[in-house]
Chains A and B, each alone.
Chain A
Amino acid sequence: MKRGMLTVAIMGLGVLFFLAAIAGAQSAPPIKLGVNDAWDYPGGQGAKRGAEMALKAINGSGGLLGRKMEGIFYDNKVDPNEAKNATERLLYKDKVDAITGFWRSDLAIVCQPLIMEAKKLMLIGGASTPVVTFERIKQDYKTNKYTFTTMVNTYTAMIAYQQGIEEGLKLGLNKIAMVVEKAAWCDPLFDEWMKKYANKIVYSTRFSTTATDFSVEFAQVKAKGADIMVFVTTGRGGTPSVKQWYDMKIPAIYVGYSVDAQDPNFPQVTEKKCLGVVTEKIGGVSGLPITPQSIPYFNEYKKVYGEYPIAYTNGVAYDMVMAWAHGVKLAGSVDPDAVVKAMERKNFNYEGVCGEIEYFDEIHNPVGGGWGKGEPWGWVAYQWGKDGKPVVFWPKKYKDGDMVIPDWVKEMQKK
């Protein structure tokens, strides 16, 4: 009898301790994620939504380390001072555990020192400047090791962006016109291509990120006899440039990189003038089954926001936050140094929406899936096909067709 009562008492105490542990976990403070981005721009809004989707996914599966995740959002309006003020508020007033956002390279550059000084994780969701990873982590690893990104830097992304040029050269075209926006992120790209294709470039120019009329530039492209026009922009010139390219009947294929051209509705927006235009995108948010996570994410995004993902930033931001959460789970804590160690593991093995991350390399860029070390993780090159659907032609693993010269361009080139 007494033994029986003792057994029940021990079991009861055990249950009580168990319940207390759960209650303790439930009442633990939330893990805070700061989101610092520009919401009035498609790229910035994409990064914000990626973070929102990640927070929803984490909290929907029970939180992180048994704790709820809380997002604290600030709109920096693409202003460096606003971005710095927001960063300082997140660090010292809101006391966040990590900060994500930074679709714009210039803002990532100015905010990084503040975050590194506070020894918090900086999770980059879109900025491609090589300064914050390629340069600063290499130069001063101890200070800058807390920076991670799922958006490869410009030097690496260039490999994807130049696939259109390379395919054009294989098709026998050989006079290149470079029409590239004047922005920090594409300075290295422009300089590199001017050297790489020096003996084939017949015309080159830079334009303002706010430009929407390219009549003079395109007239020059035509006058110089270019048959490959490399057009690079993340500004608003994407859509009008395509319309003008078609309306002015420029006898050159349109390759390069344009954020506007990533819009799933681009054929409708341009009234089908974009057919034949080449751009690149993060495949996992383009309706392509890059990983088993890709399509469910694509559909969930549509359910939540009423439209399919447009800017690539939502995918890289989502995977960046989720990869950090994976690192936190591996570390068993949100302590930045422990998380950095966990995220640097060679068997990190996180399956994201944009691709698998086998590990983060020495400059904290992701490696895995169809992309090796030094390759533009997550990126595919595609051309808008005749039926208004994108035809992926690179990388090989996800290829579903060849890049072609649009019929009307061929006709114009004969004249």
Chain B
Amino acid sequence: MEKRAGRIEGPARNERARMVQTVIFFGVIWTALYCLIAFGFSLLFGVAQVLNLTHGMIIMSACYVAFLLVTGLNWSLGFSLIGGVIGSVLLILIIYLGFIKKLLTAPHTSMLLLTAGLANAIQQIVILTVGPQNKFVPTMITGGTTIFSVVLSNQQILSVIVAFGLVVLLVLFFQRTRMGRAIRAVTQDRSTASLSGINAEEMYLVTIMIAGVLAGVAGLLIAPIQTVTPEIGWEMMVTAFTVTILAGLGGPIWGVVVAAAIVAYAEIITAFLIAPTLKEGAAFVIMILTLMFRPQGLFGKGRL
């Protein structure tokens, strides 16, 4: 240890180094989690121009389906998680075919109001049927790993791997597969794509199902880290909205990753340097500033 001006610097420097490492590593984890939350929402708007405010509730529903399968029907964890993803896909299909499809050509405000109402309805159904108490989804992978003196749970590390793996898969899907190219064509110009023989409605359905799978996976990876309550639906929705607005509508998938990183680190640094109570406000500040000064987002092609 070195003494300068009567102060011992060694432990203080170590403490600062540990804090910086903590901020960096947890920033990566929350970037991954926010990516998972935002992907489905961003995809649906990018392709079908649908601002789906039920997205958060779809994430939540995956958690509740998995919980009910594990505790109510004693299914194994693996099958319960698959059940959770299937549940979220079914729910988004019902919402799309039963409600959203009828308003596809309506103004965005109509879609916002419709999906906001549906989101509230879904939340109330959950409260009335399952109750407001905390529920849980078992951890997929237990234990922890120490990286540079920061202890991370293996569940968190799994979330990072899955999130970035999904980025790669989505990029490959849209660039290298026939269906992915067809969806991109519909996104760019629906009528021309139809003339080329692409069934736009079918592409929308595929996109909806992919969004449902992404939402389900997001919910099931996040639930063991946090807690499952009816409130998480709206909280996830705010996160998805903020990240998507910052990334920009119709922008590249990696744009969502960058935006998620900005939001995650803004929150963690706010908590660390200013006050933990202001952490959640950081996302709102980012959303407001983006809408005021760069409404098209960082990488977007269109405006909201």
Residues in chain A within 8 A of chain B (CB atoms): 39-42, 45, 182, 205-208, 210-217, 219-220, 222-224, 236, 238-240, 243, 247-249, 260, 263, 268-271, 310
Contacts and interface: CB of A to CB of B under 8 A. Distances in A.
Given A40-B230, A219-B18, A269-B135, 20 more contacts: A205-B276, A206-B275, A208-B277, A208-B279, A215-B29, A216-B22, A216-B26, A216-B268, A216-B272, A217-B276, A222-B18, A223-B22, A239-B227, A243-B225, A247-B152, A247-B153, A248-B152, A268-B136, A269-B134, A271-B138
Contacts of B26: 215-216, 219
Nearest to A266: B134
Nearest to B123: A40
Nearest to B154: A247
B139 interface: yes
Nearest to A38: B132
8 tightest CB-CB pairs across the interface, nearest first?
Answer: A247-B153, A219-B22, A239-B227, A215-B26, A216-B271, A207-B276, A269-B136, A223-B15
Interface of B: 15, 18-19, 22-23, 26, 29-30, 127, 131-136, 138-139, 142, 144, 150-153, 155-156, 224-227, 229-231, 235, 268, 271-272, 275-277, 279-280
Nearest to B133: A42
A219 B30 CA distance: 15
A182 B15 contact: no
B142 A271 contact: yes
Nearest to B271: A216
Nearest to A249: B151
21 contacts: A41-B132, A45-B131, A182-B277, A205-B275, A206-B276, A206-B277, A208-B277, A210-B235, A212-B226, A212-B227, A214-B276, A216-B22, A216-B276, A217-B271, A219-B19, A219-B23, A247-B155, A248-B153, A260-B227, A270-B136, A271-B136
Contact of B136 (A45, A211, A222, A239): A239
Contacts of A45: 131-133
Nearest to B127: A40
B298 to A, nearest CB: 24
A260 B226 CA distance: 13
A220 B20 CA distance: 11
Nearest to A44: B132
A215 B268 contact: yes
A42 B153 CA distance: 28
Nearest to A247: B153
A208 B276 contact: yes
Contacts of A240: 225-227
Nearest to B272: A216
Interface centre among A45, A269, A270, by most chain B C-beta atoms within 10 angstroms, is A269
A114 B224 CA distance: 44
Given A182-B277, A206-B275, A216-B268, A224 B15 contact: yes
A167 B227 CA distance: 29
Contacts of B30: 213
A211 B226 CA distance: 10
B278 to A, nearest CB: 8
A235 to B, nearest CB: 10
A219 B110 CA distance: 45
A40 B133 CA distance: 8
B134 A215 contact: no
A310 B136 CA distance: 15
A220 B19 contact: yes
Nearest to A250: B151
Greatest chain A CB density within 10 A among B22, B230, B276 is at B276
B235 to A, nearest CB: 7
B134 A42 contact: yes
A247 B271 contact: no
A207 B235 contact: no
Contacts of B131: 45
A222 B146 CA distance: 14
B84 to A, nearest CB: 17
Contacts of A239: 134, 136, 227
B63 to A, nearest CB: 13
Contacts of A249: 144, 151
A219 B144 CA distance: 15
Contacts of B136: 239, 268-271
B104 to A, nearest CB: 33
A272 B272 CA distance: 29
